[in-house]
Amino acid sequence: MTSTENSISTAKSSVNLDLKSRNTFGFDASAELAYEITAAEQIPHVMDEITEKKIPWRVLGSGSNVIFPKFLPGATLLMNILGIEIVQTNQEDSIIAAGAGVNWHEFVSWTLERNFFGLENLALIPGTVGAAPIQNIGAYGVEIGDYIQLIEAYDAKEHIFVKISKQDCHFAYRNSYFKQHPYRFIVTKVVFKIPKQWQARIQYADLAKQFLNNSSPTAKDIFSAICAIRTHKLPDPKVIGNAGSFFQNPIVAREQYETLILKHPGLVSYPDADNKRKLAAGWLIDQCGLKGQRMGNVGVYENQALVLVNHGGGTAEDILGLARCIQDAVHSKFGVKLEIEPNIF
């Protein structure tokens, strides 16, 4: 391994860097060339080097939503820009900026500790602040796009830093402008707008059950309840490799939903925009009898069918093979296509 000294303007670089600890599946993987990005101003020089070498590149946060091969050719930018700042606050809302490398759950905790309420439904989602808007992460009726004011990023196509408004982010279910234009923008900072007026959102069944005897939960009550639910349902990546929810909840037309509910009265679903319905992917998989099933070194988690796990020694090929079997089973039984959520490198 070789490296160069790190400074505010020069990113530390490493050759053949072991990435096993930087992907939550715990797959054995290494990066041909890695750059540790700790400040936005390091990015132009790094991208100039990448362009000159004519090599592929990608950005990596905490590796919580990725599927790695054993070797990542080209350059991997390790996003480690930290820092949280209260930009301004008034009677209506608060503006808070966070570096792209900040741990997402730690950021949510930080906001609640300072009585900025709204992000509590997104507690314990793995990953970083910078990666969150790309996927437009969401849980229990809340999406990160609901609270974003703007995003600061480096435009790798135009070679300039840009500020992208919430409207121009084109947020949709597990989608955004950044996801639609991969390898163009490198997110460096996310600016949040959190309204002072707050309303509890506990409509999802698992969450509502926690408050049968409490009709007025606080944001911190909801935060604690969601942490408890997710801890029970989702395995700790430090104990068993996983990337959290592996499939997106499919959205179907009203007509298809009505056909399905006649055949499957227990179908779990939620209202969605444009009179569509969002189906619970975990329920669909469970109904196929796949919860807890194992295929070699990988399998479906016993407590949550939406989570695929690496029992040890698994590979990207193993997990994707299992995913295809699940997709085939669900499509055969329900006529519904499941989309993989993690990014496949």
Residues annotated as catalytic are 174, 245, 341
Q: Where are the beta strands (DSSP E) in the chain?
A: 12-18, 30-37, 57-60, 66-67, 71-79, 84-89, 93-99, 138-139, 142-143, 148-155, 160-165, 185-195, 241-245, 251-252, 269-271, 277-279, 294-295, 298-300, 307-310, 343-344
H helix runs in the chain, sequence order: 43-53, 104-113, 132-135, 177-180, 205-208, 219-233, 254-263, 281-287, 316-334
Q: Are 226 and 121 in contact (CB under 8 A)?
A: yes
Q: Are 164 and 196 in contact (CB under 8 A)?
A: no
Q: Reduced to 3 states, what is the DSSP secondary structure of residue 254?
A: helix
Q: Give yes or no for a contact between 13 and 4, defined as CB atoms under 8 angstroms apart.
A: yes
Residue 281's closest CA among 235, 325, 337, 202?
A: 337
